[in-house]
Structure 1
């Protein structure tokens, strides 16, 4: 049975010795780091445009006017009252 470490060593590319190739490799690494930072920045918080915000608020208002929402609020009323009266 072959040793897994020798297979991984064979797959690893030789380090660049040509200065132009080394510079290109460093530029690509820098680009990847920049893209990773941008992804982290974008995934940290999604911001809505003003029109999207209005649309979401409208959907929430419609949901709260629905019979299902009101029935759910009525059903959960005892639990909400108990939580206020008897906190942990």
Structure 2
């Protein structure tokens, strides 16, 4: 469902969501409804008219349990979206 590289430093993970061309709708309409706050990759690109399959995950203030819960919820959102 997603591709990412494990970070060696920092507080963000960039994920490419396979099978989703534009993560804006996925995040703003689906993930937020599951209480998962992520940023679509488009927020970090200069051309806002294009679509991007990326998501930026911040984990600096989360406990391991919160990360696990959030990623499980996001995984559920992704499965539902990809199996429409």
Give the TM-score category using the shorter length: under 0.3
Instruction: Answer 1 or 2: higher relative contact order, Cα 8 Å, separation at least 6.
Output: 2
Q: Hey, which of these two has a bigger chunk of helix by percent?
A: 1
**Structure of larger gyration radius:** 1
Question: TM-score scaled to structure 1, two decimals?
Answer: 0.24
Q: Hey, which of these two has a bigger chunk of strand by percent?
A: 2
Question: TM-score scaled to structure 2, two decimals?
Answer: 0.26
